[in-house]
A and B are shown apart, each in its own frame.
Chain A
């Protein structure tokens, strides 16, 4: 007699993560490079050069209206210096990560493109926020961390499907700590934990794993990554306050009250931050999008 073993949601999720295609080599190497303290622009150039499609996309964005300021840029080196390394990572992740940014998050009732929007806005906010951080963090790493923090939603989404009304009512009645509680009720895990498993599957550098795992409870992050995790934690909330979330879970999170031990952000700075992010996001979104949608 054949026996069918019924997999639990957590087992199914683990299986799906293991089946996720690995990151393309060039993207993986770029992410590793962002985690490195001492790197030169030339290293980034050498890496991007190995990928024809990525090279052409980087040049295209560098020459787009939002970035070029009227100059024509033909050399890859100049394009990368002009855009900044973080933008190169953004272009690489947005256009090459399989099945992450290119699908809707049905379980969250979030349309295609919204996870990318939210990630990009969080990345921009993280880069702004590290100005207020008490211990310095690399701007490129900060941007990359913002881009990847919610990667787990892409896999978890399917396991939340069909529960929209229930999830919304849990949020609105105030009976849950935050949205992660609801995710755990329905699937046995949450998008932070799933994201961390994806990061491990992709062999991402440790600080990125910490951000993905702990961005909703930054006090639990390992000491050496804590500043970065706090920056992403606040940036994520700032992105959602700005109206750029991923559907049902938008705004259904708490601020860690000890954030002021890591960030010097008073109300005025926060307002200025929201404004700066809105300006930057509004002006850059379109051209980065264009290169990804092709």
Chain B
């Protein structure tokens, strides 16, 4: 089994039964996971900020950085791996954590989640499951064959989303 690592602002898709896709340590960043259970295709995107308008130039170089430019690329990527656009697509979200901030000043995690949901809705997609918020980092992986999404965090072990 090979692990394909997705860095910040990157994405990957696979239909290879011997591959899993993984992204390390999501803080306020959000991992968008898509799986076609019937066609056994999976994709994962690691976004850092909600909107590309903050840095248009960077969004051309690294569209995966932002929810609004990253999600369309993720959907293109699974199509390139054979997703026919008709079968059911399962979407899951993970990450979007924040510090322990009662005043919500640094609410970037929350804004990332809201932005991801909004862009997904524009494609008539909604997340079937979310593991978002709170104050810890998450490592996420997805297996295209079983469709299983696993999350782990230091001190908290590993669980399925």
Residue pair A243, B137 in contact (C-beta under 8 Å): yes
Q: Which residues of A contact B135 (CB under 8 A)?
A: 171-172, 251-252
Question: Quick one: given A165-B155, A270-B106, are A251 and B8 in contact (CB under 8 Å)?
Answer: no
Count A-B contacts at CB 8 Å: 112
- Cβ distance A170 to chain B, nearest Cβ, rounded Å: 10
Residue pair B98, A274 in contact (C-beta under 8 Å): no
Q: Which residues of B contact A167 (CB under 8 A)?
A: 155
Residue pair A271, B54 in contact (C-beta under 8 Å): yes
Determine, out of A10-18, A43-51, A122-130, A234-242, the stretch whose residues face the partner at the interface: A234-242
Question: Quick one: given A243-B24, A271-B54, are A251 and B108 in contact (CB under 8 Å)?
Answer: no
Instruction: Choose among B54, B58, B65, B100 the residue that contacts A253 (Cβ–Cβ < 8 A).
Output: B100
Determine, out of B25-33, B122-130, B143-151, the stretch whose residues face the partner at the interface: B25-33
- Cβ distance A24 to chain B, nearest Cβ, rounded Å: 32
A248 in contact (CB, < 8 A): yes
Residue pair B8, A278 in contact (C-beta under 8 Å): yes
A195-248 residues at the B interface, CB under 8 angstroms: 237, 240-245, 247-248
A183 in contact (CB, < 8 A): no
A242 to B48, CA, bound (A): 8
- Chain B 99-137: CB-based contact to A (< 8 A → 1; otherwise 0): 111110110110000000000000000000000001111
A110 in contact (CB, < 8 A): yes
Residue pair B54, A272 in contact (C-beta under 8 Å): yes
A171 to B106, CA, bound (A): 18
Nearest A residue to B104 via CB reads A255
Residue pair A254, B108 in contact (C-beta under 8 Å): no
Q: Which residues of B contact A102 (CB under 8 A)?
A: none
A108 in contact (CB, < 8 A): yes
Question: Quick one: given A168-B156, A248-B155, are A254 and B106 in contact (CB under 8 Å)?
Answer: no
B55 in contact (CB, < 8 A): yes
A243 to B55, CA, bound (A): 21
Residue pair B27, A240 in contact (C-beta under 8 Å): yes
A244 to B134, CA, bound (A): 16
Task: Give the bracket for the number of chain A residues in contact with chain B.
Answer: 35 or more
B13 in contact (CB, < 8 A): no
Chief secondary structure at chain A's binding surface: helix
Q: Which residues of A contact B28 (CB under 8 A)?
A: 241-243, 274
Residue pair B48, A168 in contact (C-beta under 8 Å): no
A21 to B98, CA, bound (A): 37
A136 in contact (CB, < 8 A): no
Q: Which residues of B contact A248 (CB under 8 A)?
A: 136, 154-155
B97 in contact (CB, < 8 A): yes
A174 to B81, CA, bound (A): 43
A70 in contact (CB, < 8 A): no
B153 in contact (CB, < 8 A): yes
- Cβ distance A262 to chain B, nearest Cβ, rounded Å: 14
- Cβ distance A124 to chain B, nearest Cβ, rounded Å: 14
B12 in contact (CB, < 8 A): no
Residue pair B136, A251 in contact (C-beta under 8 Å): yes
A257 to B100, CA, bound (A): 12
Question: Quick one: given A164-B155, A171-B135, A241-B98, are A255 and B105 in contact (CB under 8 Å)?
Answer: yes
B142 in contact (CB, < 8 A): no
Question: Quick one: given A237-B106, A255-B103, A255-B105, are A275 and B49 in contact (CB under 8 Å)?
Answer: yes
Residue pair B155, A109 in contact (C-beta under 8 Å): yes
- Cβ distance A133 to chain B, nearest Cβ, rounded Å: 17
Interchain Cβ contacts under 8 Å between A and B, 19 examples: A168-B136, A171-B136, A172-B135, A237-B99, A241-B99, A242-B27, A243-B25, A247-B154, A252-B100, A255-B99, A255-B101, A271-B108, A272-B54, A274-B28, A274-B49, A274-B108, A275-B54, A275-B58, A275-B65
- The residues of B with any CB-CB pair to A shorter than 8 Å are 7-9, 24-29, 48-49, 54-55, 58, 65, 97-103, 105-106, 108-109, 134-137, 153-156
